[in-house]
Amino acid sequence: MNHPPVKRIALFGSTGSIGTQALEVIERHPELFSVEVLTANANDELLVQQALRHQPHIVVIGDDSKYTKVREALASSDIKVFAGEQALVEVAAMDVYDLMLAAIVGYAGLKPTLEAIRNGKAIALANKETLVVAGDIVMQTALERRVPVIPVDSEHSAIFQCLVGEARNPIEKVILTASCGPFLGRKPNYLVNVKREHALQHPNWNMGAKISVDSATLMNKGLEMIEARWLFNLRPDQIQVVIHPQSIVHSMVQFEDGSIKAQMGLPDMKLPIQYAMAFPNRLANDWPRCDFRKFNTLTFDEPDYRTFRNLTLAIEALKKGGNLPCVLNAANEIAVWAFLRNRLGFLEMTDVIESVMQRVAYIEQPSLEEYFDSDGEARSYAADLIKI
């Protein structure tokens, strides 16, 4: 029997929640995947440990000040070491890998991911902010370069899986499920006092700090609506959100005959990560299975838009389009950063984002440069407001 060639993986953001789980998946299938690039921002120790174990071609440490430390730790190996933001983009363009797992968090993921697409690399996309900021340009470039962008985000992976075999059938709408994080049912009088530690305790998923806060504010679902718009070429009114606290139905697609397909399973990011890397194949594993006798009540409710106003702001950005999603994202990144350092209250995050959205000039069809400028402008307004 002929084996398919080994897929060479570049893992951008290897030290994060998605990155480390991706390495677990890769380790189980050495006949299918090899690790060629590993990148991290500041966690040099874990990066070095991962590099020694997986022997990639190249590692990149985003934080330049850690370059010497990483190089010395890997001096006895053949692994090339680069550092800095620009190196991430340069390595993304190199011909040493087949598929990029884009698992950097935030706006920082945009440039390397876009560079990979420009160079014809397949993308397994965890970094939703890339599509929130510049989804039109990113997807247009992917179309021109015939590059597949396969979602890793569990909701979008669910939709993607529901669409297999349905290429000729238009989507009527998609239904994104939201667990609503740790503050389901809470009202502003409770949320006003919430601190970092509460927000980081998600009931069903164990994730990086930024996305955990975004899940608690429901901004994550708003970002995912924008992500879905670009991935599946939808109009804003074709994207619905329902609160589903059990996180068993990962999302659904409704077709023009009224039929609805759902993708289900226990909440475990390794599944969508593995699906994106192995697509179109499904790989056997022995992870725990969903037993419906234990999950015999699945519930679906309307989100509380008045309490979780970040979701309302994101929907406004989705509908108006242009540079507004980019501005929303930038303001949110600064607000979350400040919240995580106890310098901004939970509800104040929304106020900052709203003010920044009103202040940055609207551009209907921004160029890439204009997206970069809008991001910078939104960040500096947000920082002014928070006084950082």
Applying CB under 5 A, which residues contact Mg ion? 153-155
CB 203 within 8 A of CB 163: no
Interaction between residue 153 and ligand NAD (CB under 6 A):
yes
Q: If we measure between CA atoms, which residue out of 176, 181, 188 comes closest to residue 213?
A: 181
Rank residues 191 and 276 by Cβ distance to ligand NAD and give the closer one.
Answer: 276
Interaction between residue 73 and ligand NAD (CB under 6 A):
no
Return the one option of ligand NAD, Mg ion, none that residue 128 interacts with (CB less than 5 to 8 A, by type).
ligand NAD
Return the one option of ligand NAD, Mg ion, none that residue 151 interacts with (CB less than 5 to 8 A, by type).
none
Interaction between residue 269 and ligand NAD (CB under 6 A):
yes
Overall residue count recorded for the chain in this entry: 388
Q: Read out DSSP for 37-97?
A: EEEESS-HHHHHHHHHHH--SEEEESSGGGHHHHHHHTTTSS-EEEESHHHHHHHHTSTT-
Return the one option of ligand NAD, Mg ion, none that residue 352 interacts with (CB less than 5 to 8 A, by type).
none
Rank residues 73 and 169 by Cβ distance to ligand NAD and give the closer one.
Answer: 73
Helix, strand, or coil here: 318?
A: helix
Q: Which of residues 155-194 bind ligand NAD (CB under 6 A)?
A: none
Q: Compute the distance between CA of residue 35 and CA of residue 147 in angstroms, rounded to an integer.
A: 20
Rank residues 19 and 325 by Cβ distance to ligand NAD and give the closer one.
Answer: 19
Interaction between residue 10 and ligand NAD (CB under 6 A):
no
Residue 238 is classified by DSSP as: G
Strand order in the sheet with 99-102: 80-83, 58-61, 33-40, 7-12, 99-102, 122-125, 149-151
Q: Which of residues 13-32 bind ligand NAD (CB under 6 A)?
A: 13-19
Return the one option of ligand NAD, Mg ion, none that residue 310 interacts with (CB less than 5 to 8 A, by type).
none
Q: Measured from the CB of residue 65, what is the shortest distance to ligand NAD in angstroms?
A: 13
Interaction between residue 375 and ligand NAD (CB under 6 A):
no
Q: Compute the distance between CA of residue 90 and CA of residue 278 in angstroms, rounded to an integer.
A: 26
The binding track of 43-62 with respect to ligand NAD, each residue x by CB under 6 A or -, is x------------------x
Tokens of 204: 């069903």
Q: If we measure between CA atoms, which residue out of 117, 302, 339 comes closest to residue 216?
A: 339
Q: Read out DSSP for 249-266?
A: EEEEEEETTS-EEEEE--
Q: Compute the distance between CA of residue 312 and CA of residue 138 in angstroms, rounded to an integer.
A: 25
Total residues contacting ligand NAD by CB under 6 A comes to: 27
Distance between terminal CA atoms of the chain? Answer: 61
Q: Which residue is nearest to ligand NAD (CB)?
A: 16
Rank residues 188 and 376 by Cβ distance to ligand NAD and give the closer one.
Answer: 376
Q: Measured from the CB of residue 247, what is the shortest distance to ligand NAD in angstroms?
A: 11
Q: Measured from the CB of residue 193, what is the shortest distance to ligand NAD in angstroms?
A: 25
Rank residues 153 and 268 by Cβ distance to Mg ion and give the closer one.
Answer: 153
Rank residues 66 and 210 by Cβ distance to Mg ion and give the closer one.
Answer: 210
Q: Measured from the CB of residue 208, what is the shortest distance to ligand NAD in angstroms?
A: 3
Which residue in 10, 48, 101, 103 binds ligand NAD (CB under 6 A)? 103
Rank residues 105 and 324 by Cβ distance to ligand NAD and give the closer one.
Answer: 105
Q: How far is CA 363 from CA 49, 226, 347, 349, 368, in A?
A: 45, 17, 28, 24, 12
Q: Compute the distance between CA of residue 89 and CA of residue 115 in angstroms, rounded to an integer.
A: 6
Which residue in 127, 251, 307, 329 binds ligand NAD (CB under 6 A)? 127
Q: Which of residues 231-250 bind ligand NAD (CB under 6 A)?
A: none
Taking the CA atoms of 99, 11, 150 and 312 in sequence, report the sign of the dihedral they define.
negative
Q: Measured from the CB of residue 18, what is the shortest distance to ligand NAD in angstroms?
A: 4
Count of beta carbons in the 10 Å neighbourhood of residue 220: 27
Interaction between residue 40 and ligand NAD (CB under 6 A):
yes
Rank residues 219 and 344 by Cβ distance to ligand NAD and give the closer one.
Answer: 219
Residue 87's contacts (CB-CB under 8 Å, 6 or more residues apart) are 60
Residues that bind ligand NAD (CB under 6 A): 13-19, 40-41, 43, 62, 103-105, 108, 126-129, 153, 205, 207-211, 269
